[in-house]
Structure 1
Amino acid sequence: MKLVLSFFAILSGLWSMAQTNSYTISFGNAVHHEASINATFPDLEGDTISFRMSRTSPGRYALHEFAKNVYGFKAFDSKGNALSVHRPNPYEWQVTGHDGSIQVQYTLFANRGDGTYSQIDETHAHLNIPATFMYAPSLSERNIEVTFDVREDLNWKVATQLPLVSGTTYSAPNLYYFMDSPTEISDFMLRSFEVDGKTIQLALHHNGTEAEADTYFEKVKKVVLAEKDVFGELPKFDHGTYTFLACYIPNASGDGMEHRNSTIVTSTRSLANGGMERNIGTVSHEFFHAWNVERIRPKSLEPFDFEAADMSGALWFAEGFTSYYTNLILCRAGLISPKEYVEGITGTFNYVWNSPARQFFNPIEMSYQAPFVDAATSVDPVNRDNTFISYYSYGSVLGLALDLSLRENGLTLDDFMKFVWQQYGKPEVPYTLENLHDALNAFAGEKFGDDFFNTYIYASGMPDYVSLLNSVGVNLQQPKTEPYFGAYTSMNPDNSGYKILRNPIMGSPAYLAGLDNGDVILNINGTSFSEDQDFLDYLKQFNIGDSLKVSFSRYGVPKTASLILRPSPDYSIHLMEDKEQTPSTPMLQQRKSWLKQE
């Protein structure tokens, strides 16, 4: 019996080896942003095999039509005979008449280096797999091998979460892991350190020095350790290694994108020109996703669909709470000061709580908008200035409120994140919104959990931030001293007037006066503008509450409108001691615990 089982085990292993789809990608024409891709799909059944380019990418929620950058597609059987190709839709190639094996070849154009697309030039081959490699949906459970034909003349090396087979050939156990494995091929600098038997490494492609790489990596290490402290442990990385794929080069596009055992972080900022301080925030955000999103994963994103947009109502937690921790971690790691952290909350706070969008959507419904906003493209005007709040920002300020509320009850958001990690992340059980609600009830009590979800998640209530921030010695005020117009403007190049560049905010003076996007304000009360004068400075000469006559042009036609200038609704957030107030000892103790300051 054992011999029979062993025989079948051997056959199974051989069959698994035979059923490996293999790719080779080369970059001979990198100067013109092209890659040549060849792929072989053996041991096929059925007369017709469908090949596709993905329409989505792990970590993104909107559609991205990667097929548009593919051309020169050809298909052959194992003997090199050309096969018939049918195009049933823009993303699919149906190949018929094979002899049990199909070889395909095509050219890819790629020139956007970020967390979604691919970029090929003589500085690097920056590959997001869905944007690069065609796949066969019916063969998605097969092993995959990919050989990167690197440009040795450019001293290129390969960095990826894919396990190495040999040379520059790497493997993936199935299509999903392959799609989730971005790859950076360049003359990068590599740094690594060990934590609890796991390797954390930085593959840094930049135009700077080795010394800059060393300094920056010290910051990366501090972030990693501070985030590990939140959850109490690192995730179990599949091959024992987590890799930051960092491209800080002029031809990149600023972005960050999480993956299971790696992340892409890109920026045009060099480490020498602001990147040392500013790029580290993306590192903080994306590494937190190694827990929250990659393993503490919404059930609504499982399985990830490569043919349609992926919608989830949990992004206020998955992305938003991650955003809350982004700068908090930098503060805890000593990379920004408490003052910088606290005052840095202000912009996001004002964006969320002064938006009229809360009357239309709660945080769950804002999360549903992701397919329309997550690097999505459209040509028709939209009204998102008035109807949308980013789930990153909305979730971030709710994370702040939940953390400070829990601390008033002797609990912390850190411990709640640990609780969710143990319940759903570590065993990798995808959660629903109901699961999250139940988890908060179990952690903090049913009344606390129900109040939070019913008031702030299922509805759009605003927490009592004055009291919450006061508990940690932080002052929240609404000064109401600055004039408020309610529309974003910019001076025309010829200094003829201020053009309104976005939809006025609902309920604002500009909105109520009937002004609209595209209008050009010529003067107010007959008072002309000074050259290069800021519009807010111009408004300060008028009194809040006064009725003003606005002369403007719409489509070239002169018009007038009456406008009552109101005070700005914006809040200010400061440490109490910076406003000549003295925080109490309990306040300072709470702040110390919150920010983990020595």
Structure 2
Amino acid sequence: MPKNKPSSAAGAPLHYLVSAPEPHTHLFHVTLRVAEPQIRQEVSLPVWIPGSYLVREFSRHLQCLSATQDGKPCPVRQLDKQRWQIGCLPGAPLELRYQVYAHDDSVRTAWLDAARGFFNPTSLCLQVSGQTHVPHLIEVLSPDKSWRLATGLTPRNTGKRGFGSYLAPDYDTLADSPFEMGNFWSADFDVCGIPHRFVIASPPPAFDGERLLADTRRICEAAMRFWHGDKPGKSVPFERYVFLLRTVDEGYGGLEHLNSTALIAGRKHLPRPGETPGDDYTTLLGLISHEYFHAWNVKRLRPAELVPYNYSRENYTDLLWFFEGFTSYYDDLLLLRAGCIDAAGYLRLLNKAVDSVQASPGRFIHSLAQSSFEAWTKYYRQDANTPNITVSYYTKGALLGLCLDLTLRQEGRTTLDAVMRTLYQRCYARQKPLRGLSEADVAAVLQELGGRSFARELRDWVHGTAELPLEKLLRRAGVRIVQTPAPLARQWGLRCKEGASISVLGVARGGVAEAAGMAAGDEWLGIELEEADVAKGSHAAWRVGNLADVQAYLPPGRKPQERSCTALVARDRMLLRLPLTLPAAPEQQWKLEPGAGARKKSAERQKVWPWA
């Protein structure tokens, strides 16, 4: 078979052939055969990928689009940034050829070099108007005899190394199936009778693969039992699952798919043989847990606004607090239930979430519903001012899930676990045709299982900006809350990088740094003391490299409200003298510890200690 021709034996209405004859050029070559084209057939490329709520304009990487029918060229007319019209007629197959530049080493688009290839079909595979519901066959050729291929898509005719053809029942399924290619590490394992595969691209020479697989299996079992009980069996919504992990020097993130996930993490996150894993490994397990939970919550149980997906524009929903936030609540909780961390370790993770939200002034002006709806313009387009104008629907959404779970458990009628399972059954498994989930569905199930209306909680906690009742609910659950001084950066309203000087990355609304006139991009070089301090024998000015230096160089014995100095700041090569008055009293943050609830007997503890 010629390398640039789709197999004539494919027999599928749409057939993509993907090759990479020169991987070092970072160009995927794609041939698309449309068996039965329409007159003036229209094709398009998505502008976003589900799960990552940002218009990314994938078409900017597409080049050299041409078309032929019966061996004769067809005119190609571009209609807008993502759509093309082909001057063809019905009655004969249409063949399109194009190339896609792939040099984005993330989980969202495509990558190709001499060592590795990766792509999401949303970056490579044109949609054929009017035929998105028919079977799509994708055939991938091997760029190198040592490479292998891994994907969650159903194989149709593949070799031992995975290259060959894969069949998707429709475009949505194709779009939701990333491909990993290269000389990767791979291992297989079963979870409740379902085959799973773990693939790692570019791993370090030594890591503890057995531990990673054992912990991943425990997490997957905990998730399956969460959704389907002790005997998941045929109720599991996929027949196989694939983890595709790309390890890098520095990086972290993931993107969920129907029966797979694309992950990226630092090599330091992997466990090492003979060593006790630390927080980095727990972070990786949390990512694995989060993306796996998404196989149910957002890939099957979906926002009504995303049924069906519209790949041509933003798909707005104000429910990301549910789909991302509640998934973030359960990702760490499942680590505990799977035995990957203990109760104290879980509370440390919860503590980080609390600290993150409490350090975001944006929570006072931006509700979770607004944050969800504006993800396209705010969460995914972050800058120095982002913490001042929005709140993370991931992190605060997780705390909302905690508050609802504690409330439901303390009232004694149900749990958030039961609410999630009921919504999954009602708004996915038994919903024909699929319409998706709305906030009204959430409210109805909360009332049905909880025995009362939760309209006030949804109004205040989801659509309002008041503080969540975390302290009251946690104390009732037997968690000790100890007040400790917050880090200096938070006390002074700064996000900064410390070193030879202090690089200001962001300034919090209402903080002392903002009052002094500091701005993102400033370089804080030193401080000048007040005349009264110099008169006592202190040196007049000091170079600083971190916030502790500022504290150290201020003379002792002052009243708190008199702790002031002049900050010496460089901005656009200009030196500025900014008057800085430090907080009268240090801002406090929480330290969460297991309390009396953790020491109760198991049956009693389950009522007040939901993470038991």
Write out aligned runs for 1:295-444 (5 A). Answer: 295-373=300-378, 375-376=380-381, 383-410=385-412, 411-428=414-431, 429=434, 430-444=436-450
The Cα offsets for residues 122-156 of structure 1, whole Å up to 9 and x where unpaired, read as: 33221111012222233212221111102352232
The Cα shift of 1:425 comes to 3.4
Query: Conserved in 2, the CA contact under 8 Å of 1:19 and 1:43?
Result: no
Partner Cα distance (2:473, 2:237) in 1: 40
> 193-202 or 29-38, which moves further after superposition?
193-202
Question: CA 1:71 to 1:434, structure 2 compared with 1: closer, same or farther past 3 Å?
Answer: same
The Cα shift of 1:311 comes to 1.7
Look up the match of 2:534.
none
Query: Conserved in 2, the CA contact under 8 Å of 1:416 and 1:440?
Result: yes
Q: In the alignment, does 2:528 pair up with 1:485?
A: no
Partner Cα distance (1:132, 1:45) in 2: 21
Q: Secondary structure at the match of 2:395?
A: helix
Q: Secondary structure at the match of 1:440?
A: helix
Instruction: Give the residue type in structure 2 aligned to 1:56.
Output: W
Q: In the alignment, does 2:94 pair up with 1:102?
A: yes
Q: Secondary structure at the match of 2:47?
A: coil
Partner Cα distance (1:198, 1:62) in 2: 33
Instruction: Give the residue type in structure 1 aligned to 2:80.
Output: N
Instruction: Give the residue type in structure 1 aligned to 2:605.
Output: Q
Look up the match of 1:590.
605
Which of 87, 107, 113 is matched with 1:115 structurally? 107
The Cα offsets for residues 421-440 of structure 1, whole Å up to 9 and x where unpaired, read as: 22223225411111111211
Look up the match of 1:545.
561
Look up the match of 1:278.
283
> 141-150 or 457-466, which moves further after superposition?
457-466
Q: Secondary structure at the match of 2:309?
A: coil
- Tell me the TM-score normalised to structure 1 length: 0.86
Which of 153, 166, 171 is matched with 1:175 structurally? 171
Question: CA 1:143 to 1:539, structure 2 compared with 1: closer, same or farther past 3 Å?
Answer: same
Look up the match of 2:529.
525
Partner Cα distance (2:606, 2:564) in 1: 45
Question: CA 1:519 to 1:247, structure 2 compared with 1: closer, same or farther past 3 Å?
Answer: closer
Partner Cα distance (1:569, 1:384) in 2: 21
Look up the match of 1:263.
261
Look up the match of 1:86.
77
Question: CA 1:444 to 1:566, structure 2 compared with 1: closer, same or farther past 3 Å?
Answer: farther
Q: In the alignment, does 2:591 pair up with 1:573?
A: yes
Name stretches of at least 5 consecutive residues in structure 1 with no aligned partner.
Answer: 1-16
Q: In the alignment, does 2:18 pair up with 1:20?
A: no
Look up the match of 1:10.
none
The Cα shift of 1:62 comes to 0.9
Q: In the alignment, does 2:245 pair up with 1:246?
A: yes
Question: CA 1:538 to 1:125, structure 2 compared with 1: closer, same or farther past 3 Å?
Answer: same
Partner Cα distance (1:226, 1:528) in 2: 61
Partner Cα distance (1:276, 1:91) in 2: 40
The Cα offsets for residues 391-421 of structure 1, whole Å up to 9 and x where unpaired, read as: 1011011111112222212232222222222
Partner Cα distance (2:487, 2:207) in 1: 46
Partner Cα distance (2:37, 2:300) in 1: 34
Instruction: Give the residue type in structure 2 aligned to 1:308.
Output: R
Instruction: Give the residue type in structure 1 aligned to 2:561.
Output: G
What percentage of aligned pairs have identical amino acids?
A: 21
Look up the match of 1:563.
581
Q: Secondary structure at the match of 1:551?
A: strand
Look up the match of 2:546.
534
Partner Cα distance (2:479, 2:22) in 1: 57
- Tell me the TM-score normalised to structure 2 length: 0.84
Name stretches of at least 5 consecutive residues in structure 2 with no aligned partner.
Answer: 1-9, 531-538
The Cα shift of 1:594 comes to 3.9
Partner Cα distance (1:524, 1:398) in 2: 45
Write out aligned runs for 1:139-178 (5 A). Answer: 139-167=131-159, 168-178=164-174
Question: CA 1:114 to 1:516, structure 2 compared with 1: closer, same or farther past 3 Å?
Answer: closer
The Cα shift of 1:26 comes to 1.0
Instruction: Give the residue type in structure 2 aligned to 1:59.
Output: G
The Cα shift of 1:75 comes to 1.4
Look up the match of 1:7.
none
The Cα shift of 1:315 comes to 0.3
The Cα offsets for residues 461-489 of structure 1, whole Å up to 9 and x where unpaired, read as: 22332232223332224435765211223
The number of aligned residues is 567
The Cα offsets for residues 23-81 of structure 1, whole Å up to 9 and x where unpaired, read as: 111122112322111111122221x12222210112121101111112222211132x2
The Cα offsets for residues 166-213 of structure 1, whole Å up to 9 and x where unpaired, read as: 541111111111111112223334433344443233233343579833
Partner Cα distance (1:296, 1:570) in 2: 39
Partner Cα distance (2:297, 2:26) in 1: 35
Query: Conserved in 2, the CA contact under 8 Å of 1:41 and 1:101?
Result: yes
The alignment's C-alpha RMSD in Å is 3.0
Instruction: Give the residue type in structure 2 aligned to 1:204.
Output: I
